[in-house]
Amino acid sequence: MGTLAFFAPAAAGHVNPTLGLAAELVRRGHRVTYATTEEYAPRVAETGAEVVPFTSSWEALKGRPAPQMHGREFIRATRMLLGETKAVLAQLGDGERPDLVVHDGPMAWWGRVLAHRWDVPSVETWPNLVGNEHWSMHLKYTTFNPLSPGFLLLLARLATFLRREGLGADVQGFMQGSRAELRLVMLPRAFQYAGETFGPGYRFVGPALTGRAFQGDWQPPDDLPVVLVSLGTGYNDRPDFYRTVLEAAAGRPWRVVLATGAADPAGLGPVPPNVEVHRQVPQLAVLRHARAFVTHAGMGGTMEGLHHGVPLVAVPQMAEQRANADRIAELGLGKTLPPGQVTAGTLWQAVEDVSSDPRVRERLDWMRGEIEAAGGATAAADEIEKLMRPPGDGAG
């Protein structure tokens, strides 16, 4: 048995996809340490991993959307991520040397640096769509000028940081995780655009979910069909959208569970008796009973809905979510509504359509089969254990 050190940024969309993997490795007898913030410590502790606390420099962002790691906000986001990396390294750099590092690929750059300092293998978890020469987010969903003065200055600063860490000056390779032994992509290959073009360095394992007892339970209070409405944790301050949901749901023979995130439920006006309004809900518990899921199409929520076979109505809020939403529609797993086209009528018609369409049900059953075949936490843990075997050990 070995010691594995997990690292992820303080963001639900990057922590939650790793929890099932951490729990599975603990179940197999490994010692797992997981560096996280106070906010995420309870859900990490639930896996059996040892919590290693750190304080994020992003605490000042509370209540505001985080910048995007692509598109027009890329420069600001990358500058902030470099600052966060330095701040986290200052807190965790003297930690115990593990046998292997498991870290979030898009954002936990400190995991890459620490794996190099400790001279141990690293495995990256990618909770979103990945890119290569055949498909990448910037080809369709983002705009970015790689020759802008601000970006060139940022590249120089990042190159200087990498040289100081003994990592050379290959900024692009560093950002893409080229030094990792393996990238674990937390979605099935069938959902990835051009999935067949990704080689053996990528293992599409699908979602690795846990029970999430830290969120509590939910049971339907009546026999009405259930629809969950949630815009996730990052871009959810949309009171006008929630008022549209309330208008759409009024008088319908459905139980609507609405999560408002940053928006104050008290400011939404009258709530129909068939609607529950909460800041947050135990999403997996609600999805077990849901007949439809109105979602921002973040990859975490998308995979959770598909895992439970729930048809999706995607209302994307930013570029990455638009890519996910388009893939949902392309694969026949639900429908997409651009935010500017959402009215009470169009929203409810979409809910009715996806929940009653036998073709959507057929495609959902197919995707559930793809998710099951991908292997989830079990397959991911198997891949990690292969890397931990002593040289020459032919076990397995």
Query: Which structural domains are found in the chain, ordered by start?
Result: 3-206+375-388 (3.40.50.2000), 213-372 (3.40.50.2000)
Amino acid at 289: H
Of 283, 238, 282, whose CA–CA distance to 261 is shortest?
Answer: 238
Average the pLDDT over 347-376 and give the result. 98
Distances (CA, A) of 176 to 98, 124, 183, 187: 23, 10, 10, 18
Instruction: Please give the residue that has the higher pLDDT: either 128 or 137.
Output: 128
65 has pLDDT over 60: no
For residue 396, what pLDDT is reported?
43
Which residues, 6+ apart, have CB-to-CB distance to 95 below 8 Å? Answer: 5, 33, 35, 52, 114
pLDDT tens profile 184-221: 999 999 999 999 999 999 999 999 998 787 778 999 99
For residue 395, what pLDDT is reported?
47
For residue 389, what pLDDT is reported?
63
141, 324 Cβ separation under 8 angstroms:
no
**Which residues sit opposite 335 in a β-bridge?**
313
Task: Please report which confidence band the pLDDT of residue 134 belongs to, taking 50, 70 and 90 as the band edges.
Answer: very high
Task: Please report which confidence band the pLDDT of residue 145 belongs to, taking 50, 70 and 90 as the band edges.
Answer: confident
Other Cβ atoms less than 10 A from the Cβ of 53: the count is 11
pLDDT tens profile 212-237: 877 789 999 999 999 999 998 777 78
In this structure, what DSSP letter does residue 148 have? Answer: -
Q: Radius of gyration over alpha carbons of the chain, in Å?
A: 21
For residue 137, what pLDDT is reported?
86
333-354 per-residue burial string, b: 16 or more CB within 10 A, e: under 16: bbbbbeeeebeeebbbebbeeb
pTM for this structure? 0.93
Distance CA 12, CA 45 (A): 15
In this structure, what DSSP letter does residue 101 have? Answer: E
Amino acid at 243: R
